[in-house]
């Protein structure tokens, strides 16, 4: 199973984790200077390469799942996982007991301005696509890339 998270959200979560730990939130000052743009460039390439490798080199069956769908309706999304794994749904209702758990970062900052709608971060352009559009870019496009 491959769980795809929007690269904007994935990169932001990774940077916050590096700067403030599992559930902390760093001050906005950590986004000033060259460290943040360099992090974006490096992690965008890591995000893309991870998914490209899975979709193009793994020979077994793949269940693609989108993080946004998991957050929006965890019972339905995990139900798809159970179907893929040919497992029953008996314990599926347990997900609603504690869907967030203890590892949740309470966001107090608006980070939207840190990712311009069309910005060049090194050689990689980042856009906010839907999960299906990311899959198309990785699976179908003649020359898979996030550049547009």
Give residue-wise pLDDT tens across range 96-127: 776 666 655 666 777 666 665 444 443 344 44
* Domain spans, the chain: 2-139
Residue 121: per-residue pLDDT: 42
Is 60 exceeded by the pLDDT of residue 66?
yes
| Cα 61 → chain centroid | 21
**pLDDT grade for 82, boundaries at 50, 70 and 90:** very high
- Helix H segments across the chain? 7-20, 35-57, 67-72, 74-84, 131-139
**β-pair type (124-126, 64-66):** unpaired
Residues 93, 75 contacting (CB under 8 angstroms): yes
- Eight-state DSSP code of residue 92: G
């Amino acid at each position: 199973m491959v769980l795809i998270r929007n690269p904007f959200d994935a990169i932001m979560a990774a940077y916050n984790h590096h700067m403030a730990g599992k559930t902390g939130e760093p001050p906005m000052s950590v986004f000033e200077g060259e460290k943040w743009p360099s992090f974006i460039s490096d992690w965008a390439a890591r995000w893309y390469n991870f998914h490209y490798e899975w979709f193009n080199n793994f020979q077994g069956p793949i269940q693609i799942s989108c993080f946004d769908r998991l957050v929006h309706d965890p019972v339905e999304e995990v139900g798809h996982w159970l179907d893929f794994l040919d497992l029953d749904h008996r314990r599926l209702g347990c997900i609603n007991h504690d869907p967030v758990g203890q590892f949740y970062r309470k966001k107090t900052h608006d980070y939207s301005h840190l990712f311009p709608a069309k910005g060049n971060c090194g050689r990689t352009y980042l856009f906010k696509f839907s999960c299906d559009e990311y899959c198309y870019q990785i699976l179908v496009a003649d020359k898979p890339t996030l550049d547009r």
